[in-house]
Amino acid sequence: MTPEPGPVNTPRRYDSTGRRGRARRAQAHVLKVAEELFLRDGYAATTVAAVAAAAGVSVETIYKTFRGKPGLIRAIQRAGLAGTGPVPAPDRSDEMSGGDLPAEAILRHWATLTKEVMPRVAPIVLLVRAAAASDPEMAVLLTEINEQRLQRMHHNASRLTDHQGLRAGIGTEHVRDVLFAYTAPELYEILVTRQRWSINRYADFIYRGLVAELLDDPGHATNPNTGCLDNALICGDGTFIAQQGTGQW
């Protein structure tokens, strides 16, 4: 008589995708809590223990994941640069500037991206700048952030010079420096934080400035019927009239 086979023990499938998703959500929660505390209390006054308690995680978890306060700041800044869309903002920018659009359309898109990125990135970079005066690690981080932004603007400038409409005689370095100036967190601080400009008005200022400095024939005269600059993002009275593009440059 042949014995009946016993039950087959199949190995349990390991759901690595689900675990990674939960880990990302947990990290995003910690960063959100840390960002709120840093901006409210300042860098020096915010401790890892305070972040851990507010986020509902252990101090060990934060050190393991972010390696302390400098790592938290780095991660917050990078998350801000990625923007809010499902595709990181730099990838969206590259896809757009890699097409056949004229330079003016690219500048319009980049100016609009500032509305998505700068409200989160600028306050954190300004926090780093303030802390850098007395904290050597923050001084190093501030240098890193500025160098990375300059490299990114050089990348953008190299792509922009391949498109029609750019002013004759200006090179990649000139374009890079103009983009670097207009993406400075200090400009956001002056216009939005201190002078209380709306984010739409700030984005329009960026667009108009880039067009005036970089395009061969801006051709943006005031339309007598609307009182707005042709192709402007907003009118002079602050009325928003266009929302083209989504999402650091």
What CATH number corresponds to the domain at position 166?
1.10.357
Would 37 be classed as within a structural domain? yes
Alpha helices in the chain (DSSP H): 16-41, 48-55, 59-66, 69-82, 89-97, 103-132, 136-160, 172-182, 185-188, 199-214
pLDDT reported for residue 245: 36
pLDDT reported for residue 30: 94
Q: Are residues 101 and 167 in the same domain?
A: yes
Q: Are residues 159 and 215 in the same domain?
A: yes
Would 7 be classed as within a structural domain? no
pLDDT reported for residue 246: 35
pLDDT reported for residue 247: 37
Would 3 be classed as within a structural domain? no
> Are 36 and 28 spatial neighbours (Cβ–Cβ below 8 Å)?
no
Q: Are residues 140 and 207 in the same domain?
A: yes
Residue-number span of the structural domain to which 173 is assigned: 84-249
pLDDT reported for residue 237: 42
pLDDT reported for residue 96: 81
Distances (CA, A) of 220 to 102, 176, 208, 217, 240: 15, 23, 9, 9, 17
pLDDT reported for residue 34: 95
Q: Long-range contacts: 20-29, Cβ < 8 Å, 24+? A: 26/57, 27/65, 27/75, 28/79, 29/55
Q: Is 168 left (phi over 0), alpha (psi -120 to 50) or beta?
A: beta
Domain count of the chain? 2
In sequence order, the β-bridge partners of residue 222 are 229
pLDDT reported for residue 8: 57
Would 210 be classed as within a structural domain? yes
Mean pLDDT in consecutive groups of 10 residues from the start of the chain, 249 residues: 57 64 86 95 95 95 93 93 85 85 92 92 95 95 96 95 88 96 96 96 96 79 41 45 41
List the structure tokens of 204.
Answer: 């329009």
pTM equals 0.77
What CATH number corresponds to the domain at position 29?
1.10.10.60
